[in-house]
């Protein structure tokens, strides 16, 4: 499973990139606003920190303007992935862009039928929003399961990018189902490493090691 960071904060991306565990980044207009940075500048900086796809979202609602915005965004770097909303204009834009070899992430997916359309439009990624789905009384995991089934039925290449992830269980369940990517707030990525028995085990080993009076040479 690929891990993307769902943030536009440079320091958070740098920290995760250094671990070697980061496969890409997703941003959206809200995350750009939160960063307080210029959209083009911050996207360029992020693209330089990771080798994988960096999603940058168009804000136009009509196809023609989406195409013009995408033209600007895709010039930022080779690893920019254009993010478009799951609307007819977004799908039309997706079809056109992927036809030209540009990566496209179709976002704000809340139904399996929408995901089917995204695959038919040739999307590189489809982003079902698990957390927001749950918040509205639906089952986010059921959505991921349905999309996996449909994509496997027809051998679609579109990757399922589990988004709006709120906690470690969302990651675990998405991985069980076979989502290709999980995009997560950095704090969720970091939380995956924690286990009380790991901490307790380290504590015990170090206590016993101390009793040996030995050190491991480091040079």
Kindly list the catalytic residues: 83
Closest CA to 122 of 147, 152, 93: 93
The Cα–Cα gap between 159 and 174 comes to 13
The residues near 108 (Cβ < 8 Å, ≥ 6 apart) are: 85, 86, 127, 129
Q: Which of 129, 148, 151, 158 is in the footprint of ligand E4P by CB under 6 A?
A: 129
Task: Give the distance from CA 205 to its chain's centroid.
Answer: 36
| Residue 127 touches ligand E4P, criterion: CB under 6 A | yes
The residues near 131 (Cβ < 8 Å, ≥ 6 apart) are: 140, 164, 165, 166, 170
Say how many residues touch ligand E4P, by CB under 6 A: 11
| Residue 6 touches ligand E4P, criterion: CB under 6 A | yes
The Cα–Cα gap between 84 and 29 comes to 11
Site string for ligand E4P, 73-112 (x = CB under 6 A): ----------------------------------x-----
Nearer to ligand E4P, 129 or 156 (CB): 129
Q: Which of 28, 114, 124, 158 is in the footprint of ligand E4P by CB under 6 A?
A: 28
Binding site for ligand E4P (CB under 6 A): 6, 26, 28, 107, 127, 129, 131-132, 163-164, 183
């Amino acid at each position: 499973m690929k891990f993307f960071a769902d943030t536009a904060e440079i320091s958070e991306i740098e920290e995760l990139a250094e671990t070697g565990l980061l496969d890409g980044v997703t941003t959206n207009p809200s995350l750009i606003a939160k960063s307080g940075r210029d959209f083009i500048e911050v996207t360029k900086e992020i693209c330089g920190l990771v080798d994988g796809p960096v999603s940058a979202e168009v804000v136009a609602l009509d196809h023609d303007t989406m195409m013009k915005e995408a033209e600007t965004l895709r010039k930022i770097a080779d690893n920019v992935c254009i993010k478009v909303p799951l609307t007819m204009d977004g799908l039309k834009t997706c079809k056109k862009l992927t036809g030209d070899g540009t990566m496209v992430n179709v976002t704000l997916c809340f139904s399996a039928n929408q995901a089917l359309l995204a695959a038919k439009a040739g999307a590189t990624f489809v982003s079902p929003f698990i957390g927001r789905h749950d918040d509205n009384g639906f089952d986010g995991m059921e959505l991921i399961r349905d999309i996996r089934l449909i994509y496997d039925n027809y051998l679609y290449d579109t990757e399922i990018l589990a988004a709006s992830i709120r906690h470690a269980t969302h990651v675990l369940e998405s991985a069980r189902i076979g989502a290709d990517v999980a995009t997560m707030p950095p704090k969720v990525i970091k939380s995956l490493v924690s286990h009380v028995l790991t901490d307790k085990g380290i504590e015990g080993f170090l206590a016993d090691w101390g009793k040996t009076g030995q050190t491991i040479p480091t040079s």
